[in-house]
Amino acid sequence: MKEFLAFITKEFAHVFRDRKTLLMLFGVPIVQIILFGFALTNEIKDSNIVIVDNAKDIATQQIITKIASTDYFKIKGNLASADEIDKAFKSGDIKLAIVFPVNFYTDLLHTNKAQVQIIADASDPNTATTLTEYVKGIIADYQSQLSETMQTPEQIITNTRMLYNPDLKGAPNFVPGVIAMVMLLVCVMMTSISIVREKELGTMEVLLVSPFKPILVILAKAVPYLVVSLLNLTVILLLSVYLLDLPIKGNLLLLYSVSTLYIITSLALGLLVSTGAKTQQGAMTLSLVGMMLPTMMLSGYIYPIENMPWILRFISNAVPAKWYYIIVKAVMLKGLSFSFIWRETLILFGMTLVFLFLSMRNFKIRLE
């Protein structure tokens, strides 16, 4: 045990004396979160929109005038029919389209109900949400003006459609994505590099020759990165709560427990990488190309998995970050309890066992 502690102390020294790497480990997530928070509060101005006014009555004219008078929108044109909207979006610079049905004002007067459709380009989800909210606000404002003059309250139902990214991935989804990526960065890349560094330095030779169990060498390597990862998690959560106003809805302990499991999964992956790499450079390439890329592409954090071809959807099941991403979203954003995420947790657990088994089997008690 004393030996093990000495080992961990040494590993901490390596981590904390390498200032540049340490700065990167904590700097990258902080910068990402802050940049994102900044992007969120950024107001949008002069966005190009098109209008399909099938009613051309007094109400639609008033609403359009109201929209045009704000700084947010610039009306690029009036389209004759809804069929042209698609072309307008594909041509590029249109962010949003508003469709008024025929008889808008008559409906409003006679049935007290009228519909407006708002179609937004959600490939940039933050802008799309903001813009639709603005339009809704303008319509609601118009409605309240009408209500003052009329006896019965009218209702204008806004019907929103998000093009290209119907789930509106973005805003709150960003934080779980950053967490999943950073854990992977720290655990897989740093762990594998630090093990391979010992091979390159030649210190691994001396350690192997010592009576110290080789497997403990590897475990001792994992401890500091577990700690660094938990610290990182805390920093990200604090920032997201206090800077992005994104409250943690679920149980904090549950969040930390599943995160620890995910960190261990990543550490096991890091060990596996280290058994396959001979140089620090090799370990880095393997972690970046072999781990980071699939995680970014296939975890669902950037691109929705549902829209992928079946083969990619199939492969995405092997990406641990996918499951962790689902878990964090469920716990942090939706406030769900363990009974809703036990399947994903079990999958992560199983993956960890497989990675650990593979790396133990590939771990050499001798030199190659």
List interacting residues with another protein (CB under 8 A): 2-3, 6-7, 9-10, 13-14, 17-18, 201-212, 365-367
CA distance 136 to 119: 12
Using CA atoms, how far apart are residues 114 and 212, in angstroms rounded to an integer? Answer: 77
Minimum Å distance from CB 245 to another protein? 41
> Please, which residue, 102 or 216, has the CB nearer to another protein?
216
Rounded Cα–Cα distance for residues 232 and 242 (Å): 15
Q: How far apart are CA 272 and CA 264, in angstroms?
A: 12
Least CB distance from residue 264 to another protein, whole Å?
Answer: 24
- DSSP character string of 154-185: PEEEEEEEEES-TT--SHHHHHHHHHHHHHHI
State the Cα–Cα distance between residues 25 and 33, nearest whole angstrom.
13
Least separation in angstroms between residue 199's CB and another protein is 11
CA distances to 152, 180, 241, 310 from 335, rounded to whole Å, are 40, 18, 14, 30
Judge whether 55 and 103 are in contact, CB under 8 Å.
Answer: yes
Longest dimension (CA), the chain: 91
Q: Give the three-class secondary structure for 79.
A: strand
Specify the residue, 7 or 104, whose C-beta has the smaller distance to another protein. 7
CB 239 within 8 A of CB 34: yes
CB nearer to another protein: give 211 or 309.
211
Measured distance CA(226)–CA(260) in Å, rounded? 8
CB 202, min distance to another protein, A: 4
Chain centre to alpha carbon of residue 188: 19
**Alpha-carbon distance 137 to 39, whole Å?**
21
End-to-end CA distance of the chain: 29
